[in-house]
Every structure is written in C-alpha cells, then in structure tokens.
Structure 1
Amino acid sequence: MRPFDPRLARYARATVPYLLVCVVLGAAAAALVIAQSWLLAHAIAAFTVPAALLAVFAGRAVLAWLQEVAAHRASAGVKAQLRAAVLRAVTREGSAPGPSGALAALVTRGVDALDPYFSRYLPQLVLALVVPVAVVAALFTLDPASAVIVAVTLPLIPMFGFLIGTYTAARTRRQWRTLSLLAGHFGDVVAGLATLKVFGRARAQLREIERVSEEHRKATMSSLRIAFSSALVLELAATLSVAVVAVSIGLRLVHGGLPFETALFVLILAPEAYLPLRQVGTHFHAAQEGLAAAEEIFAALPDGAGGQAAPVPFPVQDGPPRVAVEGLVARPGLPPLDLVLEAGTGTALMAPSGTGKSSVAAVLLGLLVPHAGRVRLDGVELGEGTDWEGLRRTVAWMPQRPYLFPGTVAENIALAVPGAPADAVRAAALATGADPDKVLGENGHGLSAGQRQRVALARVHLRCALLPITLLLLDEPTAHLDTGTELDLAHGIERLAEGRTAMLITHRRGLADHADRTVVWDAAAQANENTKTGAFL
C-alpha cells in the first residue's frame, strides 16, 4: 500500500492545504531538533541551562499543538468531503454501491478510522522525509564519520518497514472486508428479522453471524500481532544503528580525536534521525484501517465524482415551469412515458403498481438517472451538468414513503426548510392535522401510516410558505387516509397548487378527479388523457 494515496487529494480538497501545513511544521521541527541537541550538549558540557534551550522546548510544544489542531481540522474536513462524495454517488446512481449495512459501516466506522492517518501517520511521514536529511547534513558539518554511519544505516528502517508494511496492508484489507461483510449481513438480518422468524430461519442466521464475527476477530488479532512484531524489528534496527554510532564516538573520544561537546551533540542528535522513521512504522498500522476503508470508498465512487466540474447555475424561474417528459424509461423493464405538465396546471398521474410512477418523480428531482428518454423544463433538457441543487430549491416534493427521524414532529417538519421559524412550522402542522409536539422513535415509530403522510405533506406546506416553489411533486399524498380526511387535504393541496405546476401521483380516483387533467398510464404505456376544466380543486 502506498504511503500516501493521491486520490485523497482528488476526492477531499482539505488534504492539500494540510499537507502544506505538515511540510512547514516539519521543517520547523527539524530546525528545532538540531537546535535543541546543540543547546543541550552545550548545557551539559558547561553545566548551565541557557534560556534559549527553554525557548526551544516551548517552541516544540507549540509546534506539537499546532500539528494537533491542523490534523483534527483537516481530518474533519476530509471525512465530511468523502461522505459527501459517497452521498452524491448514491443519489446520482439511485442505489447504494453494495449492501446498505456495509455502506453504513464504510461511511461511519471506516471514514472515522482516517483520524489516526491524518493526526499521526501523515505528520510523521513528513518528519521522516525532512528530519533525517537535516540531521545528516548537521552531522556532516561537525563529524563526517558519524554522518556516514547514519546515512548508511538509515535505509534499513524503511526497508524493513516496507517489507512488513506490504504484509500488513494485505492483512488489513482482509480485516476490513470481513468487517464490511459482517456489517452488511447483520444489517440485512435485522431488517428482515420478522420474515426470518416466520420461516424459522433466525437461528441459522445467528450461527452465520457468529462465524463471520469469529473470522473478524482472528483477522484483527493477526493484524495486532504483526503490528507488535514490526515495532520490535524497527526498534531493534534503530537501536543497533545508534549503538554503532556510539561505539565510534566513544573510541574517538577516548583517543582524543573528538571534542567532548561535539561528541555529546552527535550522541544526542543521532537518535533523532531514526526516531521519525520508527514512528512512521508504528503509526502505519494504526492508519491502515482508514486507508483500507478509503480504498473501498474510491472503488464505490465513479470517475470524477470528487472533482467534477461545477454545474451550470439553475436559472431563477419567473413563474411555474412547463415540464415535458419524452419517452422516459426510468428503470430497465418499465414502460416508456410521454407526459406534459403544462405551466401552472395540475396533472394527476394514475397507473398500476410497479409501472414506475415514483421513479418518474425521482428522475425529475435528479435522484435517479433514467434508463432512456429525456426530460425538458421550459425547453431545457435536464441531465448531466444540471444544477440539481438549484432546481430542488424550487421544488416541493412529497415521497410515497417519507423517512422520519427520531425527535418531535415539529423537528421533522422543519427539515424541509432549515432554520424555519417555529410559528411557520406549527402552521404547516396545523394545515395537515399533524401534532407538532408528538415525539417519534426511529423511522417515525409511534405514527400510523396515515399520520406519516400528514407529516410529509406538512413539509410541502412549509416549503411553499417560505420558499419560491414553482413545481409540486406529490406522490400518493392521501394514501392510508379515509375519504373525509382525503377531501379535507385536497382543499389544502388546491391552495398549494395555485400558481404552480403540479404533478399528483395517485391510485385513488377520488383525488385524481380534482386535477385539471388526469393521465392514465397503463401497462402498455398508452396514455389516455381526460382534460378537465376549472382550477386544481
């Protein structure tokens, strides 16, 4: 595995400034190491403690503090950018690159494992490149013989480190693959636990999880054994090298061939040449899990995901747009769809289950790349290069299966407009009959299916009240509701749709009858249009 993966700089822009900071701090640290060795040798020889030595100690402490601050800032930025790159890839492709459990482990535990890489390994790698060169140069000025010994023995440390690191990298990748397999399998088992219980397969999966967990334990212990063994090898090589320098200095000191202060300086400074290399080997193992996870992330990202060109800014709409869908096949195997959403009108789209109605909304939002066909908004084709973020700011979307987070209903509604005033959130909840103070569990636990729809529709109300929304996409807004409640919410949808282009996806004829136009999309993709008069009521 390479000491530094250049893809980190490609996918995480925070890496490059941090590397420059490491180089600057490394150069300063090398100068302070030499100064400290010289001042310490002089202090011992003269039996004094110069003030400059105390200043050097303070300077090294400040450098260490600056390094910690820079490392944690850079690490946080890199992790956020990598997670954002994965999120962009998932939303662009429409599905996760692998099991959801493995993906969750990758972007949480895996990305967090980059902390040792940035806070320990990279700084030591820079020091290992800068300090030994500076130390050897300083030794040549006073004691060329010792400098030659250090220069000859120094390559032994990276040579042993490379041999051990190659073996370690393979073991760490195996450990990470086992952890990903365990996380993915465990997530799938938990998601389908009810089904497994019904068919009597829960205990069989328990044994499988135990087996994979044991494999992960063995892989982890194997990596730890290698880490401890490699530390012993590197320490032994460095100790023997310093011992050779010490013996040479001792012999020459006894015979009067070297001044006492110079000998002290060389003895104090020589170990500093080996220390960064030994530390690189130590921190290399701690950083391997993060690098292995980063490799998995890079493999999951399409080419250019981290350095893509800036999209063309989405133009500000003066009014409701006209949307034209031409031969759209959202997913392979689905029938094609031709549909026009006239500006400022409401269109109800009805079709049997499984024909891809919800996928059409996902394409319009840029959450799904269509298999075929195209979509035009006011004559402009949507696709690669579209400023989807800008477009989504003009859209209010209600999905068929809204996701609700742990917290209050008001907090879930406020997600539609970050920073929305509390009174606006409560007004949106009141408009749909949702209780803003009700506390929810994971994924909206505590609400019925109909109540979940109310919360999702309240998000639409909030966006329409606070943002310049020109396009409404409502996917089964009254599913799981009784006829009376459906009629009440239809009046609210009427007010929302005034002056906006709206697409209402539904399977309920009663709600579709309130649209300006109903498009019946049958299995053969024969669209029957029933044009109506009147407002979207």
Structure 2
Amino acid sequence: MKPLDPRLLRRAKAARVFLVGSVVIGVATGFFIVVQAVLLAHAIAGVVLRGDGVGRVAWLLVGVVVARAVLVWVQEVVAQRAAAAVKSTLRRQVLEHSLKLGPAWLSGERSSALTTLLTKGLDDLDPYFARYLPQLVLAATVPAGVVGWMATGDLIAAGTVVVTLPLIPVFMALVGWATQAHSRRRQHALAVLAHHFSDVVAGLPTLKLFGRAKGQVRAVREVTDRHRVASMKSLRLAFLSSFVLELLASISVALVAVGVGLRLIDGKLGLETALLVLILAPEAYLPLRQVGAHFHASADGVAASEEVFRVLETPLPERGERTDVPDLRVTPLHLHDVTVRYPGRDEPALDGFDLDLWPGEVVALAGPSGAGKSTVLAAVLGFVLPERGMVIAGGSAADEFTPEHWRRQFAWVPQRPGLRTGTIADNIRLGHPDATDADVLRALADAGAAELAPTQQVGESGQLLSGGQRRRVALARALVTEAPVLLLDEPTAGLDAEAEAEVVSHLRRSGRTVLLVAHRPALLAAADRVVEVGQTSLGLRPSLRSRAGVAG
C-alpha cells in the first residue's frame, strides 16, 4: 500500500492543494516544537541553576502553545475540506466514466458493490486525509528538524536517534503489508454483504410468496459473520502494531535518556543542553508513531481508492468524433456480419448477424432466449462494440459518430426499464423534457396506459407500480420522443390482449422505424418482417423470414 498514491494527486486538485498546505503546516509545526523545547530547557535550567524568574519565558511558551493549537485547528479544517472535495471529485469521475463505459461494462459489475464503493467506501478517506496524511507530512519534516537541532547540542544523542529512528518505518512496512491484505479482505466482505442484502431485498416479495424468506436469515447471518470476523482481524492487527511501535519508540527514547544522564553526571553535558535533548527526543519519534497509529484507520479508505482507480483506469471503447449523423427517418440502417462476444464467455452472443432496416419498417426479432436478440439492440445503440462486422448508416459505420449524437436517433425500451423517484409525468419527460401535459397524456394512451394518472408517484425504481405498468411508462417515455427509430425489447409484456392491440396499432400508424424483440404472436403478426436470431447446430448464420405486407 503506497503512503501517498500519485494517482490521487493527478485525479483530484484538492489533494495537491492539501499536500502543499500540509507541508507548510508541518514545517511550521517543527519550528514551534524546537522553539518550545528551547524555551522549556532555558526556563528550567534558569530556575535550577540561577534562580531566574520564568515570567517572560512563560508568556513566550503560552504563545508557542497557542500557535501550535492554531496550526492543529487549521490542519483539521483543511483536511476535512480536502477530503470532502476529493470524495466529490472521485465520485463524479467514477459516475462519468461508468456512463462512458456503457451498460455492457456495468452488467459485469455488481451494482451494490459499486454503490458501496461510492458511498461507505470513499467515506473511509476521511481519516486518511484528516489523520494519516498530516502525520505523514509531519513524519517527513519534524524529525529532520528536531535531530538537526539536537546535533548542535549533543551529537551522540542525535546519532542515537538517527540509528534507532529507521526501526519504526521498517516495522511499519512489515505491518503495512499485513494490513493491506486485511483491508482488501474487509472491503471484499463488505461488498459481498451489500450485494447479498441487495439481492435479498430485491427478491423478498418472491421469497415471501413461496415461504422462503426465513430461510435467508441463516445466509445473511453467515455473510454478516464473515464481515465481522474480517473487521475484528483488522482491529486486532491495529492494536498489536500500535503496541509494537510504542514499544520501539519507548526503548529508543530510553536509550537517549540513559546516554544523556550518564554524560550529565560525568559533567560532559550541561543541564540546559541535556534538558533540550530529553524534551526533543520524544518529539522525533512521535510523528512516526502517529503515522503507524493512524495507518490502520486510513487503510480502508486507501483500499477503496484503489478500487476507484481500477474503475477509472478501465479503458474506454474507441469512439468516433463525427457529429453529422444521417437522418434515419430517410436513411436505412444496415447490420453487416455483426459478431459480439462478451468478456468471460467462450461463445459469441451474436455471430455473423445481418440485417437491413428500412425507414418506416416494423421488424421483429424472434428466437429462443439467449439467442442474442437484446444484443442486436445493444449493438445498434453502441452499448457493445462488435468483435467483427459493423453497423452502417448512410455509408458510414456507427462507431465513427459520437455516442451522444448517434443515440439521439433512437428511443429504447429495455427488458427491465429503469424509473426514478417522482411522478409518472416526470419519468415520461426524461425522453422529452419540453413535452406538454397533452403530449404526456397522448404518450400514455399510445402505450396502452391511459388509466394511469400523470401525477401518480412511481416510488424508488418504480416500486409503486406493477411490472406491466413500469413497462408501459417506459414505452410512453420512448413514444414521447422525436427519435425516428424505436428499439423495443418485449414492449407489450404484462399487457392484456386489448392493450397490446392498441400499442401495436399505434406503432403501425406512427410511421417510425421499429425494431422490436418479440415472443408474443400479436407482435410477430404485426411486423413487416420477422428475423430469426440464433445459430443452428451447423453454425449457420441467422435465417431471415420475410413477412412483408402483414397488417397489425
């Protein structure tokens, strides 16, 4: 585990500002430590040897103590603000990068683990900035200044500190290697726990329906116990390492004190110098001890930041920069020899697929589950890049255009449409923010959902709506757009026959190009053509079954 990851400085400007501020504060702190030690040694020696008063020196000491307190307060404020700024920056960068990576990448990530990383995981950076990094800067500045000043009075004591001081970083490195593994295991246990809870909560209605809800108690308890054990191991390691560092520092200071005492008795060292050395010696070890003490508190945050950088360093798929996308209302769309293979799978999800989609045509994709029908839609949208072949419009490949300009030509309804908290109208206007109330009502009617009120709340992820209602709201959201091409994945699932007939009738009358995934006979019968997606046992390309002229 690196004490300071350079990627953090590159990714977050606030981290660079904070590091510079910490160096300035660390140098000032080292200066005031030396001044305080000099004043204390001078005052005590004056009282013991000369019987001097301490009035003026006492006021100077008060000023130094106040100055050190102010530096600690400034350090805390700067650290907290830097931590908040860095967390905000990293969260924004991860979200933006995840969106650019697209649904294909997100489908391979656990959404609960990613959510935990961006919330609880990055919150663990607070102790890293507020405690660990300031002490790391102090450990790099204070001991050098303290030992240098000690050397002006007692070279032997300074040499003793120089020899014993490196023992603490050595043991810190040994402890750090063990802590790194524990922190990663703890982050993994927390991610598994979050994912398991997410799955249980999502499937709770089904589990309750079949009387299996209580059976999950044991599974949740086992996952929780694994997280508890990982956390307790991290705490045990933290306590043991703190004990080792404290013991090393105490023995080192004792060696300095013994040497100083012997030379003082022999008259080889003055009292004021001896006091100065004894006061400064613990200050040389203190920053390193504090680094070790705060290292464990920051380890979880550092482990989370490493996971963040893993996401941020995932290479983006190569995209074009053209913005002159052909108007698909008058331009055909061609898929030529499209082959898509998902990471970690031996067999391609789509193999050598060909399709010509003409303006105003309704084409249905049929075939067994897993044949690659949804992958066809993903390839058209650019969510996945073909391993071979291409999607062509107006003589140009789709990947030559910027994704945002290309996708404006399409409205998409996936298998599991996503809805956000708010009203039905709010969710429909995601497709067309300027849509009027009349446009919203018309889209609901065209989607076979005229009975739904636009002001009705949908709840988080549409939990206040049934599955069929969520799909109809998503369909209305697609229909309210001005996109010339509709990509629909089972758009009438959950609808009764009458509502389905209304939706099919509207799709036929809309004049838009429609590419839909269908299993239901009514949708297949309404299509101008039905394209069978899937491979035969001989590995042949998908066959094309024409149904031109079939009315809906």
CA change 1:382–1:290 in 2 (3 A) is: farther
Matched, 1:272 2:283: yes
Q: Aligned-pair distance for 1:413?
A: 2.9
Aligned pairs for 1:305-344 within 5 A: 305=314, 308=316, 311-317=319-325, 319-320=327-328, 321-330=331-340, 332=348, 334=350, 336-342=352-358, 344=359
- Matching residue's letter, 2:544: A
Aligned match for 2:83, one of 45, 52, 71: 71
Q: Aligned-pair distance for 1:224?
A: 1.1
CA change 1:156–1:217 in 2 (3 A) is: same
Matched, 1:435 2:444: no
Give the match for residue 49 of structure 2: none
Aligned match for 2:515, one of 503, 507, 527: 503
Matched, 1:164 2:175: yes
CA contact (8 A) 2:90 2:308 kept: no
Q: Aligned-pair distance for 1:183?
A: 3.8
Give the match for residue 378 of structure 2: 362
Aligned match for 1:402, one of 417, 423, 426: 417
CA contact (8 A) 2:327 2:409 kept: no
Structure 1 CA distance, aligned partners of 2:386 and 2:368?
A: 19
Structure 1 CA distance, aligned partners of 2:128 and 2:90?
A: 11
Aligned pairs for 1:72-471 within 5 A: 72-82=84-94, 84-85=96-97, 91-93=103-105, 95-97=107-109, 101-102=112-113, 104-192=115-203, 205-249=216-260, 255=267, 257-258=269-270, 260=272, 266-294=277-305, 301=311, 304-305=313-314, 308=316, 311-317=319-325, 319-320=327-328, 321-330=331-340, 332=348, 334=350, 336-342=352-358, 344-354=359-369, 355-370=371-386, 372-383=388-399, 387-416=402-431, 420=433, 424=436, 427-432=439-444, 433=450, 434-464=452-482, 469-471=483-485
CA contact (8 A) 1:172 1:288 kept: yes
Q: Aligned-pair distance for 1:437?
A: 1.6
Normalising by structure 2, we get a TM-score of 0.78
Q: Aligned-pair distance for 1:476?
A: 3.2
* More off after superposition, 407-416 vs 72-81: 407-416
CA contact (8 A) 2:157 2:259 kept: yes
User: Which ranges in structure 2 are unaligned for 5 or more consecutive residues?
Assistant: 44-55, 342-347, 445-449, 537-541
CA change 1:425–1:454 in 2 (3 A) is: farther
CA change 1:55–1:451 in 2 (3 A) is: same
* More off after superposition, 158-167 vs 364-373: 364-373
Q: Aligned-pair distance for 1:32?
A: 1.0
CA change 1:337–1:279 in 2 (3 A) is: same
CA change 1:246–1:73 in 2 (3 A) is: farther
CA change 1:128–1:330 in 2 (3 A) is: same
Aligned length: 514
Structure 2 CA distance, aligned partners of 1:333 and 1:310?
A: 21
Give the match for residue 11 of structure 2: 14
* More off after superposition, 225-234 vs 106-115: 106-115
Give the match for residue 30 of structure 1: 26
* More off after superposition, 148-157 vs 289-298: 289-298
CA change 1:237–1:495 in 2 (3 A) is: farther
CA change 1:394–1:124 in 2 (3 A) is: farther
Deviations 1:479-512 (A, max 9, x none): 43345544554576568655xx543444456556
Deviations 1:194-219 (A, max 9, x none): 66677776655533433343333223
Matched, 1:477 2:491: yes
Structure 1 CA distance, aligned partners of 2:480 and 2:138?
A: 54
- Matching residue's letter, 2:412: W
User: Which ranges in structure 1 are unaligned for 5 or more consecutive residues?
Assistant: none
Identity across matched positions, percent: 40
Structure of higher CA gyration radius: 2
Structure 2 CA distance, aligned partners of 1:81 and 1:145?
A: 53
Q: Aligned-pair distance for 1:4?
A: 4.2
Normalising by structure 1, we get a TM-score of 0.80
Structure 1 CA distance, aligned partners of 2:172 and 2:332?
A: 64
Q: Aligned-pair distance for 1:28?
A: 0.9
CA contact (8 A) 1:43 1:49 kept: no
CA change 1:424–1:494 in 2 (3 A) is: farther
CA contact (8 A) 1:18 1:70 kept: yes
Deviations 1:130-183 (A, max 9, x none): 333343334434543433232222112112222223233333333334444444
SS at match of 2:107: coil
Give the match for residue 3 of structure 1: 3
Structure 1 CA distance, aligned partners of 2:301 and 2:494?
A: 45
Q: Aligned-pair distance for 1:526?
A: 1.6
- Matching residue's letter, 1:47: V
